[in-house]
Amino acid sequence: MQQLDFWTMAFVFMLATFIGFDVIRSVSRLLHTPLMSLTNAISAIAVVGAVLIAGEQKTTFSTVLGTIAVAASVTNIVSGFMITDRMLRMFKKREPSK
Amino acid sequence: MIAEESIWHLTQGSYLVASALFIFSLRWLSRPETARRGVLAGVLGMTLAVLGTFLNPHVKHFEWIAIAVVVGTIIGVPLSRVALTAVPQRTALSHAFGGLAAGLVGTAKYVLWLESDELTTFRMFAIAVEVILGFVTLTGSLMAAGKLQEVIPTRPITYRNQNVINLFLLAIAVGSGIWLVVDPTQWQLFPLIIGLSLLFGVLLIIPIGGADMPTVISLLNSYAGLAAVAMGFVLENNVLIIAGALDGSSGFILSVIMCRAMNRSFTNVLFGAFGQVQAAAVAGEQKAVKSGSAQDAADLLEASNQVVVVPGYGMAVAQAQHRVRELRDQLSKRGISVKFAIHPVAGRMPGHMNVLLAEAEIPYDELAEMDDINPDFAQTDVVLVIGANDVVNPAARHDKTSPIYGMPILDVDKAKSVIAIKRSMSPGFAGIDNELYTADNTMMVFGDAKAVIGDVVKALSGGSGIH
């Protein structure tokens, strides 16, 4: 299976960081708490690495660590997305007056 | 191997689309109108990335994954239903889980590659970074969550040579990491790195006081993201690098914003001076305080045209936000304009106060940021300060000896009159007296914010019955 080389990954990291700075800067202060819980859920992408370890089942040791890592990541995915949505539902515009 | 080749392309394709969805997710979050679409994009991206990973031919066993998914869901669902005042603790706890996942995957990879003799110099380097970042984030976030939940003391815990000791421990951890990069077979160094990182995470957070929590949470957010990036380098996986970088830059920007809002430099935050115990200013001549009743406050409010409410964490702790909403309704009914002035560090994490007010169904277009509302205070009849302290202390503007000198504040003292609701004259986080409270145009109403505002509302509605 093909592998990515270091330099490709370094370029990807640099570009993603710049996109991140740009996108995050435009987020209104109003939504900074939901922003943090959403990025929190997104960084639970670590589940991909955890699934690779837990699903490979090379050794008992690695399987145990991988399984705990999957559980930790899924906790973040579930609670992160759910609480973000819960908070965002509360942000309403001024109700039509009278 | 044609099949394996095409599966690889399929997986990479799913990662590519997932990465794009994550970027859209954050883009859509920039405005309240499109924000919920952002959550949907995030969920879709995550689902795609996981499905793409399931295709990987190395992922052969699913029983443990299934159990872990169930366990994660069982913990995750209640965690998403916490009270909104507890959102900062929940967020810190999530950073801890993120750090844990990164640390464990890094450890597993090290052991697997060491056994199969596949540890290249670069892989070892990436694993060392991942493990240190992951485990520092784990214990650091647990400490932050503990402080926010007040299961451990929120005041700064300091000892002699704190910075030197902390940096020394970190240096040993990093040094051991470098040694391992040179010679990966020195496996006994690996548990040492884990132990030191766990310890360093604890030591990094204990000297930090409650007022600095918004910065700390943002910083840990950044670390959790960078740990995911490091995992991406270990596993040679771009979607991990991209999603981690988005989280890392988000946390970084929020920390910078929080630092600016408190007039602290970034190095100041990273190296200990932050959260330092500030000697309480010696009270000079005690100036007289004018205090009034809820009825007095109601009378003052009723006679005004323009009211600005400054909510602080004191309001949130008293769970007074719903009463504040009733007050807002009463005033609006009388044609009095009401605005809410939000200081960037009001609350326990960035944007926390906005969420608490939104929970009380206060429309977000009535919330104003500090820079937008500061010029308006001179034309404001009454400012109602509820449980906010340091962020409205005029000393920050002119008193060079004050520990909060230079911190941007809400200029509420420029309003015609100020009503401050507070339980007592006790100082806030910075431990200093607030000259706003002794100013001539300020009236203090002592008492629990929820009870006081309830009484004000009652006084106002009682009056309206006659009109």
pLDDT band at residue B272 using 50, 70 and 90 as cut-offs: low
Q: Among the listed ranges B5-14, B17-26, B388-397, B420-429, which one has the minimum average pLDDT value?
A: B420-429
Q: Is residue B285 pLDDT above 60, yes or no? A: no
Write the pLDDT tens digit of every residue in A29-60.
Answer: 999 999 999 999 999 999 999 999 999 999 99
The pLDDT value given to residue B273:
44
Write the pLDDT tens digit of every residue in A63-95.
Answer: 999 999 999 999 999 999 999 999 999 987 766
The pLDDT value given to residue B277:
43
Mutate to test the interface with B, among A79, A83, A86 (most CBs of B within 10 A): A79
Please check whether residue A9 touches B, CB under 8 A. Answer: yes
Mean predicted lDDT score pLDDT of chain B: 89
Q: Is residue B278 pLDDT above 60, yes or no? A: no
Percentage of chain B lying above the pLDDT 70 cut: 93
List all residues 6 or more positions away from B170 whose beta carbon is below 8 Å from its beta carbon: B196, B200
Residue bearing tokens 């944007």:
B351
Please tell me the distance from the alpha carbon of residue A12 to that of residue A18, in angstroms, as a whole number.
10
* Nearest CA-CA distance, residue A64 and chain B, Å: 9
Look at residue A15 and tell me if it is in a domain: no
**Single-letter code of the amino acid located at B360:** A
Report how far apart, in Å, the C-alpha atoms of B203 and of each of B157, B267, B285 are: 9, 17, 40
Contact B229 A76 (CB under 8 A): no
Look at residue A17 and tell me if it is in a domain: no
**Number of domains into which chain A is organized:** 1
| Mean of pLDDT values over B257-274 | 73
Look at residue A7 and tell me if it is in a domain: no
* This prediction's pTM: 0.91
| Mean of pLDDT values over B80-88 | 94
For helices B121-148 and B162-182, the axis angle rounded to 10 degrees is 150
On the CB side of B200, CA atoms within 13 Å amount to 27
* Nearest CA-CA distance, residue B346 and chain A, Å: 12
Q: Is residue B380 pLDDT above 80, yes or no? A: yes
Q: Among the listed ranges A67-71, B267-271, B442-446, which one has the minimum average pLDDT value?
A: B267-271
* Nearest CA-CA distance, residue B241 and chain A, Å: 6
Contact B247 A40 (CB under 8 A): yes
The dihedral of CA B253, B255, B258, B260: what is its sign? negative
Contacts by residues A89-93 (CB-CB < 8 Å, ≥ 24 positions apart) = A89/B36, A90/B355, A90/B358, A90/B359, A90/B361, A91/A30, A91/A31, A91/B32, A91/B35, A91/B358, A91/B364, A92/B358, A92/B361, A92/B363, A92/B364, A93/B32, A93/B363, A93/B364, A93/B365
Contact A76 B69 (CB under 8 A): no
Lateral strand order in the sheet of B306-311: B367-369, B337-342, B306-311, B382-386, B417-422, B442-446
Q: Among the listed ranges A9-23, A31-45, B89-103, B401-415, which one has the minimum average pLDDT value?
A: B401-415
Q: Is residue B269 pLDDT above 90, yes or no? A: no
| Mean of pLDDT values over B320-338 | 93
Residue bearing tokens 């992922």:
B59
Report how far apart, in Å, the C-alpha atoms of B299 and of each of B8, B122, B303, B439 are: 72, 71, 6, 20
| Mean of pLDDT values over B418-432 | 77
pLDDT band at residue B431 using 50, 70 and 90 as cut-offs: low
Write the pLDDT tens digit of every residue in B139-149.
Answer: 999 999 999 99
Write the pLDDT tens digit of every residue in B203-233.
Answer: 988 888 777 888 989 999 999 999 999 999 9
Residue bearing tokens 């060079």:
B400
Q: Is residue B328 pLDDT above 90, yes or no? A: yes
Q: Report which listed range, B99-113, B153-167, B205-219, B431-445, is most confident.
A: B99-113
Please choose, from the candidates B167, B158, B214, the residue with its C-alpha nearest in 3D space to the C-alpha of residue B343: B214
> Per-residue DSSP letters for A57-97?
--SHHHHHHHHHHHHHHHHHHHHHHHHHHHHHHH--PPPPP
Which chain B residues touch A68 with a CB distance below 8 Å? 68, 100, 104
| Mean of pLDDT values over B37-59 | 96
The pLDDT value given to residue B206:
86
| Mean of pLDDT values over B83-100 | 96
For A81, the domain range is 30-91
pLDDT band at residue B271 using 50, 70 and 90 as cut-offs: low
Is B240 within 8 Å of B228 (Cβ atoms)?
yes
For helices B213-235 and A32-43, the axis angle rounded to 10 degrees is 30
The ipTM (two decimal places) reads 0.95
Please tell me the distance from the alpha carbon of residue B71 to that of residue B65, in angstroms, as a whole number.
10
Interface list for A 58-87 with B (CB within 8 A):
58-59, 61-63, 65-87
Nearest neighbour of B108 by CB, restricted to A24, A33, A53: A53
Which chain B residues touch A37 with a CB distance below 8 Å? 87, 90-91, 94
- The pair of structure tokens assigned to B371 is 């820079």
Look at residue A3 and tell me if it is in a domain: no
Look at residue A4 and tell me if it is in a domain: no
**Single-letter code of the amino acid located at B295:** Q
Please tell me the distance from the alpha carbon of residue B392 to that of residue B403, in angstroms, as a whole number.
14
Q: Is residue B256 pLDDT above 60, yes or no? A: yes
Contact B365 A94 (CB under 8 A): yes
The pLDDT value given to residue B281:
45
| Mean of pLDDT values over B85-112 | 96
| Mean of pLDDT values over B149-161 | 82
On the CB side of B180, CA atoms within 13 Å amount to 28
Look at residue A62 and tell me if it is in a domain: yes
Look at residue A61 and tell me if it is in a domain: yes
Q: How does B144-182 read in b/e, with b if 16+ C-beta sit within 10 Å?
A: bbbbbeeebebbbbeeeebeeebeebbeebbebbeebbe
Contacts by residues B51-56 (CB-CB < 8 Å, ≥ 24 positions apart) = B51/B14, B52/B10, B52/B11, B52/B12, B52/B13, B52/B14, B52/B15, B52/B18, B53/A48, B53/A51, B53/A52, B53/B11, B54/A51, B54/A55, B55/B7, B55/B10, B55/B11, B55/B14, B56/A52, B56/A55, B56/B7, B56/B11
Q: Is residue B50 pLDDT above 60, yes or no? A: yes
Please tell me the distance from the alpha carbon of residue B344 to that of residue B271, in angstroms, as a whole number.
22
| Mean of pLDDT values over B278-295 | 66
Look at residue A8 and tell me if it is in a domain: no
Is B58 within 8 Å of A56 (Cβ atoms)?
yes
Is B390 a residue of the active site? yes
